[in-house]
Structure 1
């Protein structure tokens, strides 16, 4: 299997943060986005940023910026589709996605997702962590996605589907378990940012 491409999802509206780009918020002298890229980039062949609006605001980031192709705020699946379209143009077979507001994502994210996908025709895997109440918590913005299913995903989005796990479950998506329950801690609010500072 060729090394997948990486797509950092930054298309959210950051309403709980007061708007703007969460990924550009600073944590310990670096932007959240820079921290995510530093962890993801060594694991993939190339990285792009999925974001909507004026791409010029990410000029200093040094990543190609790809916008959603589905009109309206369609959620993370629209970012996944944008990433799959970008990957198809590069001749890649898979992408791995990561959220722009998760500075502690695992440094073995991609190997573990690939390991969980072994034997699948169309590898489709979401990251999970232990959850005391539910057993496992799924992290739908962290996954391995096959370019081969982008037509199906486009049709699902155009049909109104927005919930990631409804689509992945419909394609027999698997899960990869990561033991650290804080691995996918995401910064949604100013309080979260303060907590992340202590976690550093």
Structure 2
């Protein structure tokens, strides 16, 4: 995206976090909330920044400014509601696409926006193609670049599909995967899309953080 058409990014942070047992956005990693880590990695590469979650007094000390991006779909249909809200966030700012990332992935690549945007520019039909991050042979559907033009299509899918899975929505769309490398560290492999679901994952992330 050019300077005239910035790439917005929205962090999806509205999950219930049953396995972690607490609000993931506020979980502390090396003395800072997870939300602060993700905001700091996105700020140099995307703007404006938004966070999809209820307004519960969310804070991210010493992190870049962000806007709260509320759901617009009823019945809390999971990550798809956040992605839909992100599409509308982009559309309100006359941006054709929006990057989404999960709040529990503190090692998001520092070039994720540039690489996904480059893939979008090369797509045959960019306004109907989702650019999805991939690492270690796995796709990461929540770490993706979404066309804002798909907002109505997504809302219709949520209204008619019982499972309401991101992968189910993507199955009916054009997609392009962009692969990111896993790096070796003294503490083991560092997947840039490593996500924190449990206290054990949090401990592993703390060991890997100096190498991210």
- Taking structure 1 as the reference length, the TM-score comes to 0.90
Q: Secondary structure at the match of 2:51?
A: strand
RCO higher in structure (CA 8 A, sep ≥6): 1
Per the alignment, residue 118 of structure 2 pairs with 115
1:190 pairs with one of 190, 193, 199: 199
**Counterparts in 2 of 1:198 and 1:60: CA distance versus 1, 3 Å:** closer
* Matches of 1:92 and 1:115, distance apart in 2: 15
Q: Which residue of 1 aligns with 2:70?
A: 67
The structure whose residues are more often helix, as a share, is 1
Alignment of 1:52-131 (within 5 A): 52=54, 55-59=55-59, 62-117=65-120, 118-121=122-125, 122=127, 123-130=129-136
Moved more, 120-129 or 103-112: 120-129
Conserved? CA contact 2:35–2:60, under 8 Å: no
Deviations 1:125-150 (A, max 9, x none): 111112xxxxx201111000011111
Task: Count how many residue pairs are aligned between Structure 1 and Structure 2.
Answer: 192
**How far did residue 74 of structure 1 move?**
1.1
- 8 Å CA contact 2:12–2:51 kept in 1: the answer is yes
Alpha-carbon distance, 1:69 to partner: 1.5
Give the CA deviation at 1:3: 2.5
Residue in structure 2 matched with residue 39 of structure 1 by the alignment: 41
Matches of 1:39 and 1:139, distance apart in 2: 17
- Classify 1:172/1:139 alpha carbon distance in 2 versus 1 (closer, same or farther; 3 Å): same
Shift in alpha-carbon separation, 1:4–1:102, aligned structure 2, 3 A? same
Give me the CA root mean square deviation.
1.6
8 A contact 2:33–2:60 mirrored in 1: no
Q: TM-score, normalised by structure 2?
A: 0.85
Q: CA deviation at 1:30?
A: 1.3
User: Structure 2: where are the runs of 5+ without partners?
Assistant: 183-189
- Corresponding residue for 2:186? none
Secondary structure class of the residue paired with 2:58: helix
Deviation of 1:60 (Å): 5.3
